[in-house]
Structure 1
Amino acid sequence: MNNTKYESIIIGAAQGIGETLARRLARRGTLLIVDVNAGANDALAVSLRDEGHRVDARTLDITDTAGVAELVQEAGAPRYLALVAGIFAASPSLESSPSQFESIFAVNTIGIYDVARQFAAVMATSGGGAICAIGSIAARMPRMRQAAYSASKAAMRQALRVLAMEVIADGVRINFVAPGPTVTPMVRALAADHTGVDLAAGESEAFRPRIPDGRLAETDDIAAAMEFLLSDQSAHIVMHDLFVDGGESLGI
């Protein structure tokens, strides 16, 4: 049974990579944009509708399991689901408390996994679809002062890979895009935490390698990669973690 109401749904659409991706996916068909920031999300929806696109907006905190279930029931099975929501915090590992881990994992790991599993269940009975989640090169490349964030992204990646193995037979593909430093509000927070460090040039004391491409990513660099994985052009790609980092990870 086909239960498709929206061509695409973006979770975490109000700013940064999510907003840029919304402007791309809005050109492809009906779009639902979801974010915890109601004001910014609604303003984006108005902007996209003014451009002639068919866009609806919903407010959601993805740590609210009942709220996620309500969204899935209302929205049905999209063909494409983008999981962009996430939070960032940094502190020395010796000062990173269990409560900091819990708050970051609640969004980046448990919340993202819950959205993915609930939509994947509907997709599996509605003809399949594609899911793409924003990971991070920090999931495989340790970052100073980012124990909780790095661990949350690594755990999300592995949990969704297991989910991917279980739903691919039903036509549901799950992949990841792992950005390096990108010009977003989250990376501005990272830059503030690494005062005086040129993120593109690297810094030995912070164990940050240079970016061979010589620049930070723009949000469109990441959104373009996500759009590819959320398309039929990537029909035989499953459980892939696509690094978009200007070569910072050296292909590891």
Structure 2
Amino acid sequence: MTTVVTGAASGIGRATALRLAAGGPVTLVDRDASGLAETACAVVAAGGAATTFVVDLADADAVASAVEEIETVAPVTALAHCAGVLVTGPVLDATADDWRAVLDVNLMGVIHTVTAVARRMAERGSGAVVVVGSNAGVAPRVGLGVYGAAKAAAHMAVRALALELGGRGVRVNVVAPGSTDTPMQAAFGGAGAAAAAVAGDLARHRLGIPLGRIADPDDIACAVEYLLSPGARHITAQVVTVDGGATT
């Protein structure tokens, strides 16, 4: 048995890989080979076991081949899909390339990966999937229209899949983080991003964070771990928002 973690090269994906590796072998997937190797080393240093696959999740054929190879070694019992890319700016300024870049990974990458894994889980009659979405896919955020649209579409697609697979022993849920201390957050907000997220900005229709801090990647990993665990056996088709109360 193995747990697959995509987007494992950094940020939430790395934190999730380290947390889930305490429960058994993990298979780490990302297109960033060097970051993936660093995560694998961290897993091993913590006493876990990891294998790695360098895959562009926007490539359906590459994803299918990787999942087939993983399954020849061990059945995938859990999937944490954490991969994502960020494009910011006004919707009116977004180019076709901007839309394509985000949709290829944040929507189609989810579809390619989740369906390839969940199809096999359904055949076996058991499995759990968690997709890391975003609170930008739950409520609109100024400057995140393209990103949020892709995340919202992914949320709905996987929730519909959860309903289709509920009778076949497979649970599918979404964890929707808010501002989180990751390289993606730093790229979006620059210096002072954390303080700005906590304070909020009514001119941008952005609420602050009632808990007074942005998330640590492990805060999100904990939610993923729970939804993949037997303790969440009666939870499916849900979006669990983990943003310190920023979305109300």
Tell me the TM-score normalised to structure 2 length.
0.95
Amino acid corresponding to residue 181 of structure 1 in structure 2:
S
Any idea what the Cα deviations from partners look like across 1:78-116, whole Å, max 9, x if unmatched? 111000000001112221122211110000001111100
In the alignment, the residues of structure 2 paired with residue 87 and residue 14 of structure 1 have an alpha-carbon distance, to the nearest angstrom, of: 13
**Are 1:11 and 2:6 counterparts?**
yes
- How far does residue 159 in structure 1 lie from its aligned partner after superposition? 0.8
1:142-181 alignment runs, 5 A limit: 142-181=140-179
1:104-119 alignment runs, 5 A limit: 104-119=102-117
In the alignment, the residues of structure 2 paired with residue 181 and residue 195 of structure 1 have an alpha-carbon distance, to the nearest angstrom, of: 9
In the alignment, the residues of structure 2 paired with residue 25 and residue 196 of structure 1 have an alpha-carbon distance, to the nearest angstrom, of: 27
Instruction: Pick one of 36, 41, 44 that aligns with 2:31.
Output: 36
1:116-155 alignment runs, 5 A limit: 116-155=114-153
Q: For the structure 1 residues 235 and 12, does the alpha-carbon distance in structure 2 shift closer, same or farther, using more than 3 Å as the test?
A: same
Partner secondary structure for residue 46 of structure 1: helix
Question: Percent same amino acid at aligned positions?
Answer: 36
**Are 1:235 and 2:230 counterparts?**
no
Q: For the structure 1 residues 196 and 169, does the alpha-carbon distance in structure 2 shift closer, same or farther, using more than 3 Å as the test?
A: closer
**Comparing both structures, which one devotes a greater share of its residues to helix?**
2
Any stretches of 5+ residues in structure 1 without a counterpart? none
**Are 1:59 and 2:57 counterparts?**
no
Aligned-residue RMSD, C-alpha: 1.6
Q: Mean Cα displacement is larger for which, 191-200 or 59-68?
A: 191-200
Instruction: Pick one of 81, 90, 97 that aligns with 2:79.
Output: 81
- How far does residue 206 in structure 1 lie from its aligned partner after superposition? 1.6
Residue 93 of structure 1 aligns with which residue?
A: 91
Contact residue 186 and residue 193 of structure 2 kept, 8 A: no
Residue 182 of structure 1 aligns with which residue?
A: 180
- How far does residue 70 in structure 1 lie from its aligned partner after superposition? 0.8
In the alignment, the residues of structure 2 paired with residue 43 and residue 143 of structure 1 have an alpha-carbon distance, to the nearest angstrom, of: 33
Residue 204 of structure 2 aligns with which residue?
A: 206
Contact residue 197 and residue 203 of structure 1 kept, 8 A: no
Partner secondary structure for residue 89 of structure 1: coil
- How far does residue 50 in structure 1 lie from its aligned partner after superposition? 3.2
Tell me the TM-score normalised to structure 1 length.
0.93
Contact residue 90 and residue 193 of structure 1 kept, 8 A: no
Residue 66 of structure 2 aligns with which residue?
A: 71
Contact residue 191 and residue 197 of structure 1 kept, 8 A: no
Any idea what the Cα deviations from partners look like across 1:12-60, whole Å, max 9, x if unmatched? 1110111111111111011101111001101221232233312111100
**Are 1:224 and 2:219 counterparts?**
no
Any stretches of 5+ residues in structure 2 without a counterpart? none
Q: Mean Cα displacement is larger for which, 21-30 or 190-199?
A: 190-199
- How far does residue 193 in structure 1 lie from its aligned partner after superposition? 9.7
Any idea what the Cα deviations from partners look like across 1:172-210, whole Å, max 9, x if unmatched? 100010111010111112213997971111012121111
In the alignment, the residues of structure 2 paired with residue 53 and residue 80 of structure 1 have an alpha-carbon distance, to the nearest angstrom, of: 16
Aligned length in residues: 245
- How far does residue 133 in structure 1 lie from its aligned partner after superposition? 0.4
Partner secondary structure for residue 164 of structure 1: helix
Contact residue 4 and residue 79 of structure 2 kept, 8 A: yes
